[in-house]
Structures are given as C-alpha cells and as structure tokens.
A and B are shown apart, each in its own frame.
Chain A
Amino acid sequence: MEWMKQVLDNGRKLEMKKDKRIKAKLDSIDMKLKENLQENIEEERLREQKTLELSRQYFIG
C-alpha cells in the first residue's frame, strides 16, 4: 500500500497559508448572500406557492 502512504504524506505537504485577499472576497460574497434574508425567504415562499398552484392546473399526457 505504498500509494496510500504517499497520499497521507503528500496531503500534509501542501502549504496552505492564510490569505487576507481571498478571505475578504469570500466574506464579501457571504455578506451578499445573507443580505435581505427575510425578503429572500418571502420571495421563496411565493415561488413555492405559485409552483404548487401551477402544478395542479395542467393535465399532460
């Protein structure tokens, strides 16, 4: 199982460094995604309601 030993060894060798620039970008996306949370939840409720109504309206086949 030499390959397994290599995977375990190599996995620790990737040097991951804290990256402020990347972190700032990710935080900015996170903020955007969580903006207007209540509005998004309400919009989603309306979409679900409309989907339910439409799904009963049409016979296909």
Chain B
Amino acid sequence: MSDSNNTQIEILRCEELLSLQERVGKDFLSDHALSLLINRFSKRVTYFMLEYPYVDKDFRSTYYSDFSKRHQNINRNSFRIHIFGENEDYYGFFTLRNTPPFNLGRGYLNPKALTVDPGHFLLTKFDAHILGKTFSVDAFPWMQQDANISRCAQVSIWAIARYYSERYPIYAEHTIQQIFDLASSDTRKIPSKGLTIENISSIFSFMGFSPEIYFSEIVNDRKIFNELIYVFIESGIPFVAGLRAKRHAIAITGHLKIEHEMDDTDCITPVSDLIKGYFSVDDNFLPYSIVGSRGKHSIGDIDAVIVPLYEKMYMDVLTLLNRVLPEIETLFLPHKKMYRRVFMTSSTSFKRFIFENISDEHYRSYLLLEQMPKFIWIVEYIAKDDYPNQVHSRFLFDATALKYAGIGMMISARVGDLFIHNGKSATLTNFQEPMYKNNLREAGYGMDEASSG
C-alpha cells in the first residue's frame, strides 16, 4: 500500500495487530503507537480492515498548516483502520498518520471494542462510510497528540468539542488545527507547549460554550470537589480535567459502575463517594482509560476542572452543594442513611421522565403542567435499603435562577409522600419513583451503559 498513480482505494483485511504494522510500516505505526494497541482490544473484535488512502480532516488541517512546511516529506494521506466483530458488527475506526512515534489519529471507538470495565459512558453516534455502505458507531472521540500542534490539552478540548458538534447542531465542528489556532500565546506556538487553564477556558468560550473553572484548593473541600466531578458527568457534561502536578490534561467522559454494597457510612452520602473511578480521554492511552481505582492516575490527581457549560446553566453547583443542601437536609430529611445524587437536566427531558414514570395521576399532571426553566438542577435522595430502585425525596432547582435568589431558586420538592410547591403541600397517594436516568438524552446528551469488554 503506497502512494502511486493508482486511483483505486485499497482495502485489506488484517487479523492481527502485528501484521497491521507489517502492512503499513513503522512510519505509520511506530513501536510506541503499537504498544498502546496491543492487548487492549476485546474478544469481540475479530478482524481489522485497512483503508488507504484516507483523508482524515483533522490530520489534513495540521498538515496544511504545519507538516507540509517541513523539509522531511510527510505523507498527507492517512490509513483508516476499521474494527469489526462477528457478523460485521462495527466497533468504529482509528486512523494512522505519518507522524511517528505518535501515529494514532482520529478514533471513534465503541467501548465494546476494548477491554473496559463496566460503567456509564457519554457516547454519541458517528457514521463511517466504506465503499458506499454506512456503518454507525457510538463513541467518544479520541486521538493521540502529535506533539507539534496538538498536546494533551488540545486533544482533550478537541474530543469534547467533537462530541458536542456531532450531537448538537448549535455547535460548529472544529478541527484540531482550528482549536490550536484559537489559543493566544506571547511566545512561538510551534512546537506546542500545551495550554494554560485560562487558554483552555477561553478556547471553549470562542467555540460558543460558557465555561467555568474549579480548582481543588479554592473549592477547599476534597469531598465536595469529588462530588463536583461526579455532578457534571451525571449531568451529561464532559469536561477537561487538569492534573497540574503531572502537567497533564485529560477529558472526563463517564464513570465506573457505582459500588454501594461496601458502603458502611451512616449519614447522607454523595454518590460520588461510591464511585471508584472515571473514564477519560487521555492521549497517552486508548480511550476510556480509567482515572481512579486500577487506573494510571488517581481521582486525587485531578485538581482543576474546566467545564464547557451551556449559556443558560447559570446557577453555580457550589452554591447548591455548600449552602443550600446542608440546610435542606437538616430541615426536611428524616434521620436515615441516604445516598445523594445531584445533576442538571433539561426540563424537557425531566418532563418526559415524569410522563413515563409517575403513577400518581394528579401529582404527575401537576408537574407536567408546571412552568419550568430550560435547565433544572435535580437532587435525589435514595434510602440505602431502596437503592437503586426508589427515590425517597427529590428537590428541583431553577438552574437559571438569579444569584443570591435565596430559596426562591427551589421550584418544588417531594419529601416522602409530601409534595411541596410555593409554601403549599399535598399528600400523595402513590409516591414510588425510580431514579432519574438517561440524563439529557432528549437534548442530545446520554449516559449509555456498556458491559465489560
């Protein structure tokens, strides 16, 4: 497989990764890049399909901006490696670019293609076209840094931005080069030195997000900071995590399965305390690598969080966690072992959940008719013995509330069989409600469960 006057696309089937390297050569698959791939694919994967030449829009963007200016002849074409299982089950693709030793380019890989622990993932659908046929894959975007234009910070932003642009028509697609160009620098930009946290935030702003930054030392409470990490993932919002001691950036994109069986605390416990690790896009490893238990980094390594929020998500989660919830828990909740879930969702998605899951007809209709803002914060309390089947209490807050709005930010609440709204209450006949799942799916977000690889 090489550039020639041949105008035909070449397709080759390949059973093993080592033979893949023989086919493409070390300029396209270095030993370093190969070492990332070895032993990471699950047993579901039965063969790879090589496609050449492939025009990878992200590599081409950097090629025309930088690599084409180098003395060394760098191939502008990429290989695309499709991953298949039995019966043509499609698990996505990754590209190989002529940038050794960091050859692994844009990849959309389904977690089932890899040996990944069970958990919840943020995934979105991508289409791949092979010889006139369309294959679809649910994935979170990933690539390896090229160390010249892209470093881990740019890759993290790119992965999140590509996830959003694929899901939401309001977000434009940005190539890795365009993301690189959005950062300002007082010194030369190539070779890239990475980005400051301010750079990362400002790039998100340029792309139309309303980012917020949290530092662990400013939050000043590691338990709350850990809850913050969980809250955004449960809300369906992937974010850039800074590991400042390691000078590293990754994107957090999901969490491991919740392990409540071992919990022996006897008070209100945030669900984040039951999560041993998070999935990440870390350009040093294949996608869905774990931060936390059995991972390459610990949750404690995360000490900065840059969250690309939607503009109408005004109310700061720290106000809720630090000031509002302690008061509510003291005055409203029974003295009972409870788990706390805090997350944001759209009122559209929440009403769909209400429509499908509430059995008290009067209460259900009342909520469906209630005027709600575009986004709401939801706080669910689940008694330990009922976890994960039944929610004891649920509080709704206006995510668009004015700052210092006081308790006016609370829309309504249900505490056991008591429904509360505007200082009034009603006793419900049937208040069995499941936990709210599939957060923000209707708005295009979604937490999809995948089993072990």
Question: Which A residues are closer than 8 A to B by beta carbons?
Answer: 6-11, 13-19, 22-23, 25-30, 32-34, 37, 40-41, 47, 50-52, 54-61
Contacts of B57 in A (CB 8 A): none
Residue of B201, B242, B406, B420 most packed against chain A (CB within 10 A)? B406
Q: Establish whether residues B424 and A17, one from each chain, have CB atoms under 8 Å apart when the complex forms.
A: yes
Contacts of A6 in B (CB 8 A): 361, 365
CA distance A32 to B156 in the complex (A): 40
A-B pairs with the 10 shortest C-beta distances?
A61-B194, A61-B153, A61-B151, A10-B365, A11-B365, A30-B407, A14-B362, A19-B425, A55-B198, A55-B197
| 14 A–B contacts, CB within 8 A, in A order | A8-B369, A10-B364, A10-B365, A11-B365, A17-B424, A17-B426, A19-B423, A26-B407, A50-B215, A55-B213, A56-B197, A58-B244, A61-B193, A61-B249
Min C-beta distance of B171 to chain A, whole Å: 22
Min C-beta distance of B30 to chain A, whole Å: 21
Q: A29-B406, A56-B196 are in contact. List 9 more A-B contacts (CB 8 A).
A: A14-B366, A14-B426, A27-B407, A51-B213, A51-B218, A60-B197, A61-B153, A61-B154, A61-B195
CA distance A18 to B419 in the complex (A): 12
Contacts of B372 in A (CB 8 A): none
Q: Establish whether residues B408 and A30, one from each chain, have CB atoms under 8 Å apart when the complex forms.
A: yes
Q: Establish whether residues B426 and A58, one from each chain, have CB atoms under 8 Å apart when the complex forms.
A: no
Min C-beta distance of A54 to chain B, whole Å: 5
Contacts of B168 in A (CB 8 A): none
Nearest residue (CB) in B for A26 is: B407
Give the size of the chain B interface in residues (CB under 8 angstroms): 56
Min C-beta distance of A14 to chain B, whole Å: 4
Nearest residue (CB) in A for B361 is: A10
Q: Establish whether residues A60 and B195, one from each chain, have CB atoms under 8 Å apart when the complex forms.
A: yes
Nearest residue (CB) in A for B192 is: A61
Min C-beta distance of A8 to chain B, whole Å: 7
Min C-beta distance of A13 to chain B, whole Å: 5
Min C-beta distance of B404 to chain A, whole Å: 6
CA distance A52 to B285 in the complex (A): 31
Q: Establish whether residues A13 and B362, one from each chain, have CB atoms under 8 Å apart when the complex forms.
A: yes
Contacts of A14 in B (CB 8 A): 362-363, 365-366, 419, 426
CA distance A37 to B420 in the complex (A): 27
Nearest residue (CB) in B for A16 is: B424
- With an 8 A cutoff between CB atoms, is B323 at the interface? yes
Q: Establish whether residues A60 and B327, one from each chain, have CB atoms under 8 Å apart when the complex forms.
A: no
Task: Known contacts A55-B197, A55-B201, A61-B192; decide if A50 and B328 are in contact (CB<8 Å).
Answer: no
Q: Establish whether residues B331 and A29, one from each chain, have CB atoms under 8 Å apart when the complex forms.
A: yes
Contacts of B154 in A (CB 8 A): 61
CA distance A1 to B304 in the complex (A): 50
